[in-house]
Structure 1
Amino acid sequence: MPRVHPPRSRRMITLRVLRREMLSPHFVRLTLTGPGLEHLERSGPDQAVRLFFPRAGQSRLEMPTTSTTAWMPQLLLVPKARRPWVRMYTVRAVRPELHELDVELALHDVHAPAAAWALAARPGDEVGIFDEGFTYFPRPHAEWQLLVGDESALPAILAILEQAPASLVARVLLEVPEAADVRPDVVRPAGVEIEWVTREGRDGPPGAAVLETVRRAELPPGPSYTWVAGEARLPTGLRRHLVEQRGVPKSDITFVGYWREGRSAPG
């Protein structure tokens, strides 16, 4: 399990959709707004929140009333006719002065609950968030970093790079479904090298292409810190490769399984 750095304090926050923007064939950005954002404390660059949104046919969003770990049992006791969907997403950007928060959703399956909701979202639609902390925590001794992810980890890695110190030295490998999903102008320190891998014309599950690319890559020498996230087989496979084939200490790797292909998240 990844080491999660929890928020110092948190509460259930209800917001509304301000705008929706298609960024590429497989990514949509939602900008959320509301005075409740005053209660969201910014933490690590890959800060994640539970996102609560209504099921099809629900006229209103019914959020859990507790802001403790008891929120999930409480949610599961609510009949499905009233229970919202809940998924985890990275906070892509926050503009406190405007009471705005951005989340970017990777569209694996347009018929899945989150994708279908996001593609149909309209200004004024209710949505809730609940802070879950962050996992990106570089080791002080690391001379360089390795950041790897599939499309589900792209928002987190972009946020990490945007907030990184100018001195960061890193190799970044990102897998996206197709070339049209590549972001041409990534904000990053000068010492960061980015390699994009697309799945076009390839067989295998999500994450397999970028995993194979890392396995073949010539990586810099010296102590490092690795952060990898995505479909469960990518982070576990990369961690195994780095530990067994490259001698990287397990303590220098943060690996996070964001999703499992073919399996729906609970809730």
Structure 2
Amino acid sequence: MIPKVHLPESRTMITLEVRRRVFLTPGFASVTLGGPAVRDLTVAGGDQAVRLFFPREGQTALRMPTVSNDAWIAQLLLLPKSVRPWVRNLTIRRARPADDEIDIEFALHGGSDSPMSSWARRAEPGDPAGIFDIGTTYRLPEHAEGQLLVGDETALPAILSILDGTPPSLATEVYLEVATAADIRSVEPPAGARIHWFARDDEELRPGTLALDAVRRASLPPGRFYTWVAGESRLATSVRRHLVNDRGVRRQDISFVGYWRLGRSIPG
């Protein structure tokens, strides 16, 4: 059975600062965080996830938890909101240890004024931010003859990072859904990979609908293949259910992650 989350043997709270922020498309921004403490992070996979801590609007400093275990949650919630930072789960798009830098890409969700989107839009060099390793879920088995990668816009950074490490000999089908056609990127995938893009361009359409429908109609990779699917919770569970019930795929060959759930806000 593929483990749901693989955690490192040791991890620590890491405080960094913004070095750059660029807008990649109307719906995506990339924020580069840097500092010597980057060396305390071991990137273990293409979907390397971290907790990102960032100040609330109006806060001039970042108050990070002081414990590097799961007790950080209780410690954070005991802080008054005047000093408590926001915290969100995100994927590292690229890591450059030699430069003491990591890139994190943000899906800005259109005109959303969510705390995370607002921070990513206004982030400037020198602004503080922190990260805490929360592990990886992508585990390509040795027996895999191909792979299937599926996600909505929140999984796009992880999928592109996974593709960066995919050997050209591995047959790979990718189904990526984004909010608008303007968010479709020009990506040069490995020789054995094909990317199928889908743009909702409709605020009433549930995220993940187009990617799920495409997988249901798709010709899947030949032989025994590995699937990694992430994004809105229903997309992740529905793709897994379809593959297992309708395509006869072994459960142990699928990793699925619900990054978020439509209609449910993140506490904090």
- Paired positions, count: 266
User: For 2:125 and 2:204, how far apart are their aligned partners in 1?
Assistant: 39
- Give per-residue Cα distances to partners, 1:202-252, cap 9 Å, x unaligned: 852100111011111122332111000001110011111111111111111
**Normalised TM-score (structure 2):** 0.96
Give the letter for the 2:228 counterpart.
W
Determine if contact 1:226/1:253 at 8 Å carries over to the other structure: yes
Match for residue 239 of structure 1? 240
Matched position secondary structure for 2:16 = strand
User: For 2:169 and 2:41, how far apart are their aligned partners in 1?
Assistant: 28
Following TM superposition, where does structure 1 have runs of at least 4 consecutive aligned residues deviating by more than 4 angstroms?
none
User: For 1:203 and 1:213, how far apart are their aligned partners in 2?
Assistant: 19
Match for residue 163 of structure 1? 165
Unaligned ranges ≥5, structure 1: none
User: For 1:244 and 1:255, how far apart are their aligned partners in 2?
Assistant: 15
Match for residue 31 of structure 2? 30
User: For 1:12 and 1:214, how far apart are their aligned partners in 2?
Assistant: 38
Unaligned ranges ≥5, structure 2: none
Q: Please state how far the C-alpha of 1:80 moved relative to its aligned partner.
A: 1.3
Match for residue 102 of structure 1? 103
Matched position secondary structure for 1:92 = strand
**Could you tell which deviates more after superposition, 245-254 or 195-204?**
195-204
User: For 1:41 and 1:243, how far apart are their aligned partners in 2?
Assistant: 33
Give the letter for the 2:40 counterpart.
H
Matched position secondary structure for 1:137 = coil
Q: Please state how far the C-alpha of 1:2 moved relative to its aligned partner.
A: 6.5
What does residue range 50-129 of structure 1 map to in structure 2 within 5 Å? 50-108=51-109, 110-129=112-131
**Could you tell which deviates more after superposition, 14-23 or 108-117?**
108-117
User: For 1:42 and 1:225, how far apart are their aligned partners in 2?
Assistant: 21
- Give per-residue Cα distances to partners, 1:171-197, cap 9 Å, x unaligned: 0010011111111123x3211011001
Q: Please state how far the C-alpha of 1:45 moved relative to its aligned partner.
A: 1.2
> Taking every aligned residue pair, what percent have the same amino acid on both sides?
58
Give the letter for the 2:91 counterpart.
T
Give the letter for the 1:24 counterpart.
T
What does residue range 190-201 of structure 1 map to in structure 2 within 5 Å? 190-201=191-202
Determine if contact 1:178/1:200 at 8 Å carries over to the other structure: yes
Matched position secondary structure for 1:91 = strand
Matched position secondary structure for 1:110 = coil
User: For 2:200 and 2:252, how far apart are their aligned partners in 1?
Assistant: 30
User: For 1:105 and 1:202, how far apart are their aligned partners in 2?
Assistant: 19
Give the letter for the 1:179 counterpart.
A
Match for residue 8 of structure 1? 9
Matched position secondary structure for 2:60 = coil
Match for residue 251 of structure 1? 252
User: For 1:67 and 1:117, how far apart are their aligned partners in 2?
Assistant: 24
Matched position secondary structure for 2:45 = coil
- Give per-residue Cα distances to partners, 1:96-147, cap 9 Å, x unaligned: 1111110000012530010011101111100000011100001222111000
User: For 2:221 and 2:65, how far apart are their aligned partners in 1?
Assistant: 47
Match for residue 136 of structure 2? 134
Match for residue 22 of structure 2? 21
Determine if contact 1:2/1:255 at 8 Å carries over to the other structure: no
Q: CA RMSD in A?
A: 1.4
Give the letter for the 2:105 counterpart.
E
User: For 1:64 and 1:25, how far apart are their aligned partners in 2?
Assistant: 33
Match for residue 225 of structure 1? 226
Matched position secondary structure for 1:75 = helix
